[in-house]
A = this chain, B = another copy of it.
Amino acid sequence: MTQPVNPPARLLMGPGPIDADPRVLRALSTALVGQYDPWMTATMTETQELYRQVFGTRNDATVLVDGTSRAGIEAALVSLLAPGDRVLVPVFGRFGHLLAEIATRAGAEVHTIETEWGQVFPPSVIEDAVRRVRPKVLAVVQGDTSTTMNQPLDELGAICERHGVLLYSDATASIGGNPLETDAWGIDVVSAGLQKCLGGPSGSAPITLSPRAVAVLDGRRSIEAGIREADDVVSDDPIRSNYLDLAMILDYWGPRRLNHHTEAASMLYAANECARILLEEGREAVIERHATAGRAMLAGVEALGLRVFGDVAHKMHNVVAVEIPDDVVGDEVRGAMLEDHGIEIGTSFGPLHGRVWRIGTMGYNARKDTVVRTLAALEHCLRRAGHVVPQGAGVDAALDVHAAADVHAAADVHAAADVHAPGDVHTGSTAPVGAPA
């Protein structure tokens, strides 16, 4: 008989998954409860509210899809796009191709625009394409880990609004580590996963839908035979998937709580805890932590004399693509990182396979010690592979970035303290004596 799973000690510094926060691991081992237990439905409702805050939205339709982030992408596309509907996908890496592929399988008429890997699209280029294609949906990845690029989304909502287009974004790799404002930016649908900056395991896909997107689903809503009541609607153009039918998933999470799948309770617990951890620290503080760790890793690899791939001004905070020096074999160095130092870094796909390593600083692992440990190990692996690197330069550069961030943060605290000094307590109150507290 086999033994219980007993993984080796690893520090996961690739493009995700990363080490889950220990709090999330603990949440996973919580006892199960029936899916219609009042406690369970209350926990589902609470988790919806937590994810509204994570997504920066007031969308009622904010739920989890029970599958990996890819399930969330497919749920969005197969539910929004009826066969023959036009969709525009700006492709700047592997995951843009994935959106196009999933939309094609959903029977949509798929139009793509492409840019070189390592670049993002100026909004004007996307607007030109929207004007030309006149799609029902603009589907765009926010952060594409294959190239590390972070597509600016803040102007796309207004473009879509002008042209009557629904905007969908896959924020799996970016959410939590980079700004994302679902409502303020006018994004109709955003899907995500836990295994990147949210510090959880793969297997649950948070998703949010605007009322406008829900209205599109309403036109295709079906209730399955076996639980259908006499007056329930049955669309003659149902969504092509049952499992990923967001209208049904919303009915399951909504007030009718119509039976669909059996909620994956353990993954719900994990998703709940991921959101709580992020919101306790604060959305802006978490993004700032990712920004600092990302700057430190970037400074570190550059100080080691390595070149960074792509338009660094537009890279995600949480991952960097490092060009593999000509005098080493990429997979050998990566193997030494894993075997000798217990650290996983990533390779890449397609045109970048064998050309770059991808090093992540995300979620629980967006920390000073993990950055420093990774850079120290990389220095040694490069040195032993015969590539000359300046001793200590990577570690020093990273520590300098973190020290500067600490000074900056301390200055912020000091400035805040000046404004609200202890002596100021109650001073600003304008309430008359005797007014209700």
A30 contacts across to B, CB distance below 8 A: 5-7, 25
Q: Which residues of B contact A242 (CB under 8 A)?
A: 70, 74, 98, 101-102, 105
- Check A2–B46 contact: CB distance below 8 A: yes
B29 with A26: CB separation less than 8 A = yes
The yes or no answer to A115 lying at the interface (CB within 8 A) is: no
For A188, the chain B residues whose CB sits under 8 A away are none
Query: Chain A 323-359, CB within 8 Å of chain B: the 1/0 string?
Result: 0000000000000001000001000011000000000
A202 interface contact, C-beta 8 A:
yes
A322 interface residue (CB < 8 Å to B): no
Q: How far is the CA of A71 from the CA of B244 in the complex (A)?
A: 9
Residues of B contacting A126 with CB < 8 Å? none
A166 to chain B, nearest CB (A): 20
- Determine whether A427 belongs to the interface, using a CB cutoff of 8 Å to chain B: no
Interface residues of A in 198-245 (CB under 8 A from B): 201-203, 224-227, 238-244
A 93-114 binary contact with B (CB < 8 Å = 1; else 0): 1111110111011110000000
Give the size range of A's interface with the partner: 35 or more
In this assembly, does A377 line the interface, its C-beta being within 8 Å of a C-beta of chain B?
no
Q: Is the CB of B20 within 8 A of A5?
A: no
Question: Chain B residues near A70 (CB, 8 Å)?
Answer: 242-243, 260-262
Q: What string of 1s and 0s marks CB contacts (under 8 Å) between A6-22 and chain B? A: 11101010101111100
Q: Which of B23, B31, B66, B93 contacts A7 (CB 8 A)?
A: B31
Q: Which of A39, A203, A270 has the most CB of B within 10 A?
A: A203
Q: How far is the CB of A264 from chain B (nearest CB, A)?
A: 3
Q: Cα distance A28–B276 when bound, in Å? A: 19
Among B4, B14, B244, contact of A27 (Cβ-Cβ < 8 Å): B4
Q: Report if A280 contacts B (CB, 8 A).
A: yes
- A259 and B350 CA atoms in complex are apart in Å by 11
